[in-house]
Structure 1
């Protein structure tokens, strides 16, 4: 492109100079002036001839480069295919023994479950590889498939979504797969179908990794919404707990919102607890917020915040309790807010208590505020110690 634009600029400049340089007027009527004008005019004509030849040569040069670039790209693609095939062949040989005896590869990602099958995701490679995602459920309200677990290093697969279901309840969401033994995050839980719970998040890797988020609960079509899935726990040593899933909204009239999922526990040595999921909205009663996860199950980490109670027409949901901090150091999680209520003489949901602080350093979590109600507001939660 740059070479072509340079050629166009040179041609334009030559065309602009053609008139003034090839048709010079004589300075006077004498023979000397006429001879000088003719001489310089011939120089201009010669320049135009040479310029046209150079433009043609430039065009041929640009065309040659374009053709060469296409040939290079084609040759590179042709050379890459055998190399990729050879690499895959070597990998197949490496994976063959473990695939035959243990049903999983040594290196490589697990296969995803097919959509609509509810099949579990395949396990990741023993040494390295992510778990496959679970397949979504079928139209008959089938459960979503669980995510595949990772091996030594890798992330767990996400759980498949439960289907809505043509009659009755939908399927629950699949659980997320666990992260790798040494390093890796847990997979997220799948969403629940109608009236069904979301899947739990997968646990983080043993050494390090965050827990997966819980799946949201399904909508309560004329009934109670599904509960959100619990967040996965953080790695046994290091890692934050997963966030709890949101509760599903309840159906109209007498519908009740689903409860939010509990936040995952932080890693044993270090890691914050996951926040609890918010409760779902319900016309009759809002869902309860999920409790926050405990921070650093052993020593260090902040507690997770409690989820808010679900809003409602009649009675707001209660907030979820804040998670306690790690044993030694950390702040407690704040309590969840109570859900609001909108009908005349309705009752707002109560706020939840804040989590306890660490023994050596840290502050207790703030209590959650009560929800507003047209009749009476909800009581506020107590702060953590």
Structure 2
């Protein structure tokens, strides 16, 4: 079975709105009457006159249809008004005689206190309008009225206080970007405090885009529980960092919004920080924005959870988790948000390497060649002398000259630029001053992935993920080799 719930007051208000819509349409049609029905011809020829007459006929036909629509609209508005009156009459006829007697008795009892103190002796307080406070409950018995919800930018109304026995009214929800109303105080002897209203959601252009605070829960006095604090409004998501050039550093993501909550059993989660930007090769990704501050809780069993940090960009660090809320009463729990993981760098091949060139004689000096685009081969400089590349950047590795008793291994710079290696017993790097370590005998052969030499291909190198590894070059006495 279907049910219809009708509120006569809302029907009357709707009828008024529909009537104003009809007036606006009628005014627009009257304004367009003259310019559209009297279209002048573009020229004195027959074609121009025919076109003007055609459009003028269309305009006159529209005016006829518009008049018929206005008549129907007026009839519809009258039907709405009549329906609202019929519903109101039905409710009045169905009202219980006992209810009327009750209202009469309460009117007599509440009249003195209403006149002297502005509140009844028995009965509930009235609910507040938009952004208005709820009415107070009866002095002897009655619950407080609920605070009205705020319009955009308007604070929610506070809940009404209870009398001797009764519960406080709930606070109204705050408009966009503003706080919710506080809950009403519970009864002096027995009663619970009213719940705080929720804060308004963040909206660009209102209060700087910051979410509204949740309203405080109402207090309980002798017997009863305090009201639950309202939830903070939803914050806007932090903006992501800006992508820089290939050699730049990613911008840091904006932090999440701040949410604050006060009351019993309150709970709020800070806004999520923005993601850091991705970057190109040789750069550091932007740091993710910090999570929003969780909030402040007053009352029992508060639980504040910081917002999660934003995700780091390529190679960047994850944002820090938001701070937990301040809980300054019993059973409070303050939990920081979860920090985001470090951003993952995209896999890229190694782009730099040093190429060794075999020498012709003892005193000959040869420089390393320019950096290659991708080093994929290992070189054997001469029979019995192998140049071995360094391993990852995490450890120092030198190259060994196999079979060279007086050989000297010289570590190269971390592939930032080309370096030259002199073919001398005490060779040093030209780009970065690093002392060579003499090897008394041929060193072990390490996995070779980076160096390249002429003529002798050995094995392809595996690409590395957005990092440049150290490379080494070896020099030795020509006589020893």
After TM superposition, the score normalised by the length of structure 1 is 0.49
- Decide which structure has the larger Cα Rg and report it: 2
